[in-house]
Structure formats: C-alpha cells, structure tokens
Amino acid sequence: MKAMPTSLITEGKIDLLVIARGLPRVEVEARDEVLVLTRKWRVRGIERFHTTVIKRFVNAAKLAILLGLQRSEGLKDGTRVRFTNTDPRLHQMFIESLKELGINDFSVHAYYCYCERCGLKKLKDVIKEFKKLTEVEVKAIYINKYAHKVVFQTDVNDRMLAMLLIRAEELLRELAAKGLLPREIVAKYVLGSLEGDGCIELRLKKSMNKDSEKADGLFLRISERNTEAAADLKEIFRRYFGIQLHSYGYDHIGSINLQRALMMLNDDIIPLRHKNKVVTRVMLAFRRKGLPWILVQLAKNHRDNWFTAREASKVLGKRCNHVREKLAALEKDGFLTSIKCKFSPNGKGTPIRRIYRLTEKAMQIESLLSSLPPNFSFFRKSY
DNA sequence: AGTGATTTACGACAGTGGTT
DNA sequence: AACCACTGTCGTAAATCACT
C-alpha cells in the first residue's frame, strides 16, 4: 500500500505555519524562511507581548522524532517545553531536533542521590557525557535521594513553543492513526515515543543447557494514560507495523513475532536501550536455523537469482518437500516471489517448474542481518 | 501474562522578580 | 500588595523492574 501524499508534508518538509495558525491567542507572521509568533496579554490594562522566531519549513523526520519524544517524555501542560530522562542520548535527540526548529536557548538541570554507594564519579562522568553529546551546560544539580541514575531535565522556557509542539504532536498522531502519513515519518514518531515510554521485554525459556535457551516471546509495552493518545498509538501500531496491542490499565502490550521484529529493526524503530534484546531474539532464531538463517543462506547462495526448490533444499539441508512448504510460507510473507516456467533441460521430470527469487524485502532484511556483529557472544545478556 | 516492589519522571507547587 | 510570567524544587503517581 502506498502512502498517500498529504498537504502537510512536501518534499520531506513540514510547513509549521499550518500548525502555528491554529494556536489560540497567538499572532503568526509568516515570512519566507521563518515564522514570527507573538502572544499578547494585558497586565492591568497595559499590553505586553512576547515573540518567538522559529524556522518555517522543517525536516519532517526530525520533527516526527521530536514529537514522539514530546509524547512520551515531554511536559504536556503547555507552559514550557520540558524533557525529563536519564539518558543523555535522548536529550541529544531532543535538543538536536529543537535546533532544527531554530531553537537554541536550553536550560538543563540534573538530579542526583549523592549517596555514598553511588559516589561522585558517576555524576561527573554522566555530566561530562551530557555536555559532550548535547553541547549544553548543566545549570544546576539538585539532590534527589532516589536518583541513583542522574536525571536530566532539558527546558525551553517558551509557552508558545510548548503549545506549538503539543498541537503538532496531536495533529501528527491523528493523521498517522488514519494512515495518512508516509511510513518513514511514522516510524520516526514511533521511535521517539518508544525511546521515551516504550519497553521491550524479551522472555526466554529457562533451560538446563545454557546454549539451548529458547525465545519465549518478545513483547512491546507502551505506557500511555491519555486515552486518545493510547487509542491512536494502538491504531498506528496495528496499521503500520501489524502489532496488535492489548490494554491493561495504562499499559498496552502486544507480542512481536520474529518477522515483525525484523521489520522493526529494519524500520529502525527499536529504542536504543532495547535493541540488544531484539537482536538477541533474532540471533536465537538464527542459531536454531529459523527465518534469519534461511534468508542468509538463500541470499548467500542465490543472491537475486532464481532458484528451484531442489536447489534450496541443498542449501538448507532439508528434504525437498519440507523446503517446498517453507518456500510457500516465505512467499506468503513476502520474502519470496515465484513464477512457473518451462524448464526441462534433459527431458526428465515435469516441464513446468516453479522457481523462486528473494524479494526486495528479503534482501533488505538480509543486509540488516549481515550488518549485525557476527560475534554472537556480544549479544549474550549482560547481567 | 499477572503481580508486587522499586525508583524514576511527571506534574504540582513554590519562589522570584517585574509591573502597576 | 496584587498580579503575572517565568523558573526552580520537590512529592508521588506512574513507569519499569523482578519474579513467578
């Protein structure tokens, strides 16, 4: 299914005028490159105002990430822009996306337990990392006895920007839920929201023999208490990624099968901190000669050439009739295409045979797999 | 998948300073 | 001293962990 073009996105850019125009009590002056937002209010009959200048045409993918982060970790009261998280890399994403809008004034605070067990080195190191990644100074550090990880808050003290982001997020989410946005943009939004409050759990079947541990499911969990947002997110996952989320209170959980996991890796929507779990899942399947292994074998031996079931059977080391079933399943899932053709070099057997070829999708997944580090021990759980 | 425990991140609140 | 916008600080609801 092809993504429908929308007036919101043109050549990968979003015109923020569309969003800014809808803001209550904000005057918008549209120029070629920038938008000048002015909000006026009265203090004892005297008019006062504040002005914010933002870029007008912004990269849709970067905005989508920003809005996903805003959805998950952003303050949503419309008084200012605030992002709270322990991971400096997320702040880096957040800050870089805001810079894309022409915002450069950030105010960052941190919280730390200062307990003896944690010591001061951890604080120093993380602050250093934060500065290195974001190029923003940390203004102050407060004591929070529970903050054994350093918690960072990035603020942009701008009401109008806060309102703009909230409005933009609603709009993007609603359009995505209706399937009106291109897949790659939605993927960025989803990445942003998963980075924040998505959680991926990998369950393994316990076994005596460590080498034969089996995957017992991969689950996606999003926590979202806003009913509308939760409904939209569920719809987005169903529509774009084929994942059915079930709600338990504010938690929305769905299982990710191997194929979906591969597609999600391919779409690059797995949050950084959960990527290794998904890769572990894929590697387990690889070791057990599941789909990833089969794709790699077929690609290694036939690349984008046509092959027969008999040839595949040699490569995969399985009986021909079993392979035929497997190939049919792969074709059904869009990893293979097949055609029937006349084919009787030596006059033996049926002259009409089915030949197969890996699809674009399969080749994409295969190159993804080969880009993963070959050293499997890297993917061992680290605890 | 369900549940209870832990702790983090969200949102509420308090403080500040400018203006009338 | 009342009002307002803006920003710093903190308590706890909710996000995540851990176990079955």
Could you report the per-residue pLDDT of A67-81, keeping only the tens digit for each?
888 888 777 767 778
A278 Cβ neighbours under 8 A, 6+ residues apart = A200, A202, A218, A256, A261, A264, A265, A270
Between A93-107, A171-185, A291-305, the lowest mean confidence (pLDDT) is in A291-305
The total domain count for chain A is 2
Summary mean pLDDT of chain A: 75
Q: Are residues A260 and A319 in the same domain?
A: no
Residue ending a domain, among A225, A255, A279, is A279
Q: Are strands A57-59 and A13-15 parallel, antiparallel or unpaired?
A: antiparallel
Report the nearest residue to nucleotide C2, CA vs C1': A44
Which range has the top average pLDDT, A114-128, A163-177, A222-236, A335-349?
A163-177
First to last CA, chain A: 42
Residue A302 lies in a domain: yes
Which range has the top average pLDDT, A40-44, A60-64, A226-230, A343-347?
A60-64
Residue A10 lies in a domain: no
Reduced to 3 states (helix: H, G, I; strand: E, B; else coil), residue A58 is strand
For A109, A153, A224, the CA distances from A150, given in Å and listed in that order, are: 10, 10, 24
Residue A173 lies in a domain: no
A221 touches strand B (CB under 7 A): no
Residue ending a domain, among A279, A301, A333, is A279
For A192, A239, A240, the CA distances from A182, given in Å and listed in that order, are: 16, 12, 10
User: Mean of the pLDDT values across residues A133-147?
Assistant: 78
DSSP line for A211-272: GG-EEEEEEEEEE---HHHHHHHHHHHHHHH----EEETTEEEEE--HHHHHHHHHHT-S-G
Reply yes or no on whether the pLDDT at A21 is more than 70: yes
Residue A308 lies in a domain: yes
Q: Are residues A243 and A191 in the same domain?
A: yes
**In which order are the strands placed within the sheet that holds A46-55?**
A26-30, A34-43, A46-55
CATH of the domain at A300: 1.10.10.10
Domain containing A325 equals 289-370
Q: Are residues A272 and A183 in the same domain?
A: yes
Q: How far is the CA of A375 from the C1' of B16 (A)?
A: 57
Reply yes or no on whether the pLDDT at A383 is more than 60: no
Residue A353 lies in a domain: yes
- Give the separation between CA A156 and CA A149, rounded to whole angstroms: 23
- Give the separation between CA A175 and CA A9, rounded to whole angstroms: 11
User: Mean of the pLDDT values across residues A360-381?
Assistant: 61
Phi, psi at A275, each rounded to 5°: -60, -40
Report the nearest residue to nucleotide B20, CA vs C1': A44
Is A64 within 8 Å of A186 (Cβ atoms)? yes
Residue ending a domain, among A279, A306, A322, is A279
User: Mean of the pLDDT values across residues A283-293?
Assistant: 71
Residue A152: beta bridge partners?
A: A85, A110
Residue A227 lies in a domain: yes
Q: How far is the CA of A275 from the C1' of B8 (A)?
A: 21
Percent of chain A with pLDDT over 90: 3
Q: Are residues A221 and A202 in the same domain?
A: yes
A58 Cβ neighbours under 8 A, 6+ residues apart = A13, A14, A16, A100, A101
* All protein residues with a CB under 7 A from any atom of strand C: A 41, 43-44, 48, 50, 79-80, 107, 109, 111, 139-140, 142-144, 146, 153, 155, 157-159, 196-199, 203, 221, 223-225, 250-251
The pLDDT value recorded for residue A95 is 85
Q: How far is the CA of A79 from the C1' of B4 (A)?
A: 36
A183 touches strand B (CB under 7 A): no
Reply yes or no on whether the pLDDT at A326 is more than 90: no
The pLDDT value recorded for residue A4 is 45
Reply yes or no on whether the pLDDT at A214 is more than 60: no
